[in-house]
Structure 1
């Protein structure tokens, strides 16, 4: 008998296939907000006219722009954005960019609500030992226009990197999730090919680790299996023709579905746990961590969950095949890195990575039990 609970998050709307500028204006009208603070991709702002078009559509309702959020959302940039947003008197944060910007704005909402105005203050609001502290709920909320497809805009969790320790720390609050997400495939054409496709594998990783979780349930499966099928179909079409907006839209919708299980309480596994460490400690882009670790984790887990892995292979169009092999071939065909050596991570680093990954929230929930760093080292060797 299934047991569990599904908590519906604080997402109000997902708008797909409409141009971003008009959709942002419509959301501000719906929400009754008047002072939009834009947190945007520096590349989009400086090298395209997309942000200019959005600013023109908003007119006086745009009260500021922040375009200096580096990868992995460092604390220093979160504080810089918080102080700029506070000074601008914003009543809505609008993100236009990738996952680091989306996560940055989630963190800014919590900083604004809890009077955090310096780097050390983030310690007061971060998750410790899996528990989020009591804090004031954000009253300035966020809407998101994602340009990558890792799916963070559908999550109430933000990852923020402490550069002094090279550790990615988690912030979490039910109202940190964007109130609305706008999926506009046209704005993603500026995203570098490697970034779009690798974040697509991040979304694949969400689907696969959810399907393989011991804690999944039919509601989560429905989204993960459909999301995986859509991503498997769409990503090669994007690679074949970068101007194919229908393929990009399918990839975006697949990503939306990929987050259904996680937001319904199904945990991720070792691919996500190890990925956290590779991102924070070695600056490996998040999508690349999934490209490299997911097939290795599947092969290591196969002893204990072959039945669930069979669902993965079938959803990807290869019933009866080994899911690790199917994923490896799929990721390779997209031209993504396949080994840790491709991202300059060598076996000398494995002990430190394994130690740190044990402390992530996901490794203890991996479907094949991981009792200590020695087993993580086995997985890392499979991906060396």
Structure 2
């Protein structure tokens, strides 16, 4: 009897226990803490949110003396020294839950903080020994941590890149400018609070770029080399919601559009850990730290290039999404290009200020990354093929 390929049957639930949608975070956070028996919350927020909005102030007012600490020392790509410093502060404050308020950098930081506290790993070397390993079939990221979770987080997302849906954290190691790679046991938030009014306070450009990052996750799920029917169904609906609603976020009064985009993030997140993702998901982990570029900005040209690279190789997958978008006669990359232009997002790597020489410097670390050249429907197996897809991400039509 032939051994079945379990990749086609695998669904990975990531451990969330409560999701609240279309609510006011400050009103529901105390009750959410009561539900899980938490008494001592430590808030981790982006500096912009903490200093330029009233979001954190409102949360602290509602929590009163149940808020035992706050840090906004996060930083782009969540530098490892900031994580260790915050973990020590949270342990000293005897917090029993972390409340993350922000986007991917904030939530990724909180996951790594959880790992640091659970493993009592308060230095760089010990943390780096906890990086994930790849499964034998090359499709899953597996934790190397054995300690039970000592603390969890409640996430209040302010962007759309879906970090709240995974236990994966990729902070930057400032000594090497490379991404550390962690899969944190119980690293996904125990609860997520989706507040569209908070989302509407996020700067429009950041909303658009993180929405593209969420869209890229959904597309990678729908176009996975080892798809799962449940994940595919959710991802295709997420693609529709993102494409139709992201342009509407330019109107902060369009509450339904913000709600729909948070639903799109939810649908994307429910399936994305169950199937392997391809090039565009992982290449941002090279371009981000090497080019000093936010993940979500890098996702724009990489998503566009991957759609071109997969033309004819993902014909059925693209066709299903195009039918949902009521554009069945177009090429999928054309629809994505139109969306990027409408959102005033970059289509090409040179739009991000990268030079060819800078992109060339990323070839070797990309080939050395454990996932960039794996799990692509159209293979990217070597330097020649990697350069070919990066050329699609680099070159404008005028340069042809």
- TM-score range with shorter-chain normalisation? over 0.9
Q: What is the rounded CA distance, in whole Å, between the counterparts of 2:124 and 2:233 in structure 1?
A: 41
Kept in 2, the 8 Å contact 1:110–1:137? The answer is: no
Counterpart for residue 139 of structure 1: 150
Of the three residues 296, 299, 302, the one matched with 2:305 is: 296
Kept in 1, the 8 Å contact 2:240–2:321? The answer is: no
Of the three residues 279, 291, 294, the one matched with 1:285 is: 294
Kept in 1, the 8 Å contact 2:45–2:72? The answer is: yes
Of the three residues 193, 203, 206, the one matched with 1:192 is: 203
Kept in 1, the 8 Å contact 2:77–2:105? The answer is: yes
Kept in 1, the 8 Å contact 2:46–2:72? The answer is: yes
Q: Secondary structure at the match of 1:175?
A: coil
Kept in 1, the 8 Å contact 2:280–2:299? The answer is: yes
Mapped pair 1:157 → 2:162? no
The C-alpha deviation readout for 1:150-181, integer Å capped at 9, x for no partner, is 00001111111112211112110340100000
Counterpart for residue 374 of structure 1: 384
Q: CA deviation at 1:233?
A: 1.4
Mapped pair 1:100 → 2:100? no
Kept in 2, the 8 Å contact 1:268–1:362? The answer is: no
Q: CA deviation at 1:131?
A: 4.4
Return 180-189 or 343-352, whichever deviates more: 343-352
Q: CA deviation at 1:362?
A: 4.3
Of the three residues 46, 60, 67, the one matched with 1:41 is: 46
Mapped pair 1:72 → 2:83? no
Kept in 1, the 8 Å contact 2:112–2:184? The answer is: no
The within-5 A match list for 1:54-69 is: 54-69=59-74
Q: What is the rounded CA distance, in whole Å, between the counterparts of 2:323 and 2:373 in structure 1?
A: 26
Kept in 2, the 8 Å contact 1:126–1:170? The answer is: yes
Mapped pair 1:207 → 2:212? no
Q: CA deviation at 1:88?
A: 0.5
Counterpart for residue 31 of structure 1: 36
The C-alpha deviation readout for 1:20-66, integer Å capped at 9, x for no partner, is 11221111000001000000121121122211111010011000001
Kept in 1, the 8 Å contact 2:221–2:232? The answer is: yes
Return 64-73 or 116-125, whichever deviates more: 116-125
Kept in 1, the 8 Å contact 2:116–2:122? The answer is: yes
Counterpart for residue 121 of structure 2: 116
Counterpart for residue 21 of structure 1: 26
Q: What is the rounded CA distance, in whole Å, between the counterparts of 2:12 and 2:303 in structure 1?
A: 27
Mapped pair 1:166 → 2:191? no
Mapped pair 1:331 → 2:336? no
Q: What is the rounded CA distance, in whole Å, between the counterparts of 1:368 and 1:237 in structure 2?
A: 33
Q: CA deviation at 1:128?
A: 4.3
Kept in 2, the 8 Å contact 1:313–1:321? The answer is: yes
Kept in 1, the 8 Å contact 2:27–2:62? The answer is: yes
| RMSD, aligned α-carbons | 1.5
Structure 1 spans left out of the alignment, 5+ residues: none
Q: Secondary structure at the match of 1:65?
A: strand
Q: CA deviation at 1:231?
A: 1.0
Counterpart for residue 324 of structure 2: 315
The C-alpha deviation readout for 1:298-353, integer Å capped at 9, x for no partner, is 11122422222222322333112111111111111111111111112122133332
TM-score (norm 1): 0.96
Of the three residues 3, 7, 12, the one matched with 1:7 is: 12
Structure 2 spans left out of the alignment, 5+ residues: 135-140, 395-400
Q: Secondary structure at the match of 2:313?
A: helix
Q: What is the rounded CA distance, in whole Å, between the counterparts of 1:246 and 1:340 in structure 2?
A: 32
Mapped pair 1:176 → 2:187? yes
The within-5 A match list for 1:221-370 is: 221-239=232-250, 241-263=251-273, 265-358=274-367, 359-370=369-380
Q: What is the rounded CA distance, in whole Å, between the counterparts of 1:252 and 1:131 in structure 2?
A: 28
Q: CA deviation at 1:80?
A: 1.3
